[in-house]
Structure 1
Amino acid sequence: MATARVWDDEFRRRVERHQASRGPQWTNIEEEKALSRHDVAGRVVVVDCVTLWCTNFFFDLDSDVQAALAAAREEFDRLTAQDATFLFVTNEIGLGGVSENKIQRRFTDLQGWMNQYIAERADEVVLMVSGIPVKVK
Structure 2
Amino acid sequence: MAEIIFITGGQRSGKSSFAQRMAEEKSENPIYLATAHIWDDDFRWRVKRHQSDRGEQWQTIEEEIEISKHDLAGKTVMLDCITLWLTNIFYQNKSDVDASLEIAQKEWDKFTAGDFTVIVVSNELGMGVHPENEMARKFADLQGWMNQYIAKSANRVQLMVSGIPVKIK
**Where in structure 1 do 4 or more consecutive aligned residues deviate above 6 Å?**
none
Q: Distance in 2 between matches of 1:20 and 1:134?
A: 26
1:36-83 Cα distance to aligned partner (Å, 9 max, x none): 111000001110000000000001100000111111111111110000
In the other structure, the counterpart of 1:45 is 77
Q: Are 1:98 and 2:130 counterparts?
A: yes
In the other structure, the counterpart of 2:166 is 134
SS of aligned partner of 2:61: coil
SS of aligned partner of 2:104: helix
In the other structure, the counterpart of 1:79 is 111
> How many pairs does the alignment contain?
137
Q: Identity of aligned pairs, percent?
A: 58
In the other structure, the counterpart of 1:114 is 146
In the other structure, the counterpart of 1:5 is 37
Gaps of 5+ in 1: none
Q: Distance in 1 between matches of 2:65 and 2:96?
A: 16
Bigger proportion of residues as strand: 2
Q: Distance in 2 between matches of 1:66 and 1:107?
A: 11
How does the TM-score come out when normalised to structure 1?
0.95
For CA contacts below 8 A with separation 6 or more, give which structure has more relative contact order.
2
How does the TM-score come out when normalised to structure 2?
0.78
Q: Distance in 2 between matches of 1:3 and 1:52?
A: 6
Q: Distance in 2 between matches of 1:19 and 1:96?
A: 26
In the other structure, the counterpart of 1:69 is 101
RMSD of Structure 2 on Structure 1 (CA): 1.1
C-alpha deviation, 1:99, in angstroms: 1.8
Q: Distance in 2 between matches of 1:126 and 1:61?
A: 30
Q: Are 1:28 and 2:60 counterparts?
A: yes
Task: Mark the CA change 1:97 to 1:19 in structure 2 (over 3 Å): closer, same or farther.
Answer: closer
C-alpha deviation, 1:8, in angstroms: 1.8
